[in-house]
Structure 1
Amino acid sequence: MPARHPLLTALEPVAAALGATLVGRTRVRADDIPLEWEGEVVGGLRLPERGAGLAPLIEEVEAEVGGPLATLSREDKQRAVALLDERGAFAFRRSVEDVADSLGVSRFTVYNYLNARRG
């Protein structure tokens, strides 16, 4: 069995944080992000389906704060955004939009909550 390319090994923590999967060069599909090393594709990054990794995080936070995000007070919505941020929810594509939809607020509001939190 051939050794795994060092680029794939180095990207394992990134893939895990994104909820993505690393695949070898022979398994790269058209919808994967090709990973090149010195002009040669050595593998691919397969992102999770939109919302697939975010939905469980939102459900977890809803359970923790005691209800659907859209029904929370402003302060609890800020707390929910902080919890989602701590758990890496905003590493997913379109996550700000999806969280804003769940909270019943605008993207701008979510960015304001994040900026206030991150200082």
Structure 2
Amino acid sequence: MRLEAEFTSEPFRGEGSPPEHAIAARDAATEAGLETDFGPLGTLARGEAKELYDALPAIAKAALDAGATQVTLQVRQAEPGRAGVKSGGPVALNDALDRLIADVERELGAKLGELDRAGKQRAVRLLRERGAFGLRKSVSSVADALGVTRFTVYNYLNREAD
């Protein structure tokens, strides 16, 4: 069975080169023989189940040893030709993020883009607590929903980490 593991390490950095802890995690996955897709928010690693399971402790250790304060991990079955689909059904990751955003909007009583600055910061905190930023390309989608830049979302995330 083939699996995919998507992992992010924090603190996030909004601009410039990726943080050392993100590079170290990616390198650990590559050294374990996994296929990797390195992005600004996280890394997707694919491989056979045993290889992936065996590599996870080394990936987390590499990130933490290189300065990460947190590593978030999602593991799912890889389905050929269906990247970005969770195991257990055809729920696209973007649909999951859309649902999380809709839930936060209901909870806060307004569309994210209509919130004041404090409300937007609270929305980012709620989305983070619910795992939204473990999803690929989520910062861009959340930034669009908030009506702010990705850099602003990263600033909110970094503020929460402090």
Short-chain TM bin: 0.5 to 0.7
Distance in 1 of aligned mates of 2:50 and 2:100: 28
Match of 1:30 among 69, 81, 105: 81
Bigger relative contact order, structure 1 or 2 (CA pairs below 8 A, ≥6 apart): 2
- Work out the CA distance in 1 between the residues paired with 2:100 and 2:129: 11
- Alpha carbon RMSD of aligned pairs, Å? 2.6
In terms of fraction of residues, the more helix-rich structure is: 1
Length-normalised TM-score, structure 2: 0.50
CA distance in 2, matches of 1:109, 1:89: 16
Bigger Rg, structure 1 or 2: 1
TM-score by length of 1: 0.67
Identity %: 45
Q: Which runs of 4+ in 1 moved over 6 A?
A: none
Question: What does 1:26-65 correspond to in 2, within 5 Å?
Answer: 28-32=79-83, 46-47=85-86, 49-65=92-108
**TM-superposed deviation, 1:76:** 0.3
SS in 1 for 2:136: coil
Classify 1:6/1:31 alpha carbon distance in 2 versus 1 (closer, same or farther; 3 Å).
closer
CA–CA separation in structure 2 for the residues paired with 1:6 and 1:72: 43
Matched residues, number: 93
- Structure 2 stretches of 5 or more lacking a match? 1-47, 57-72
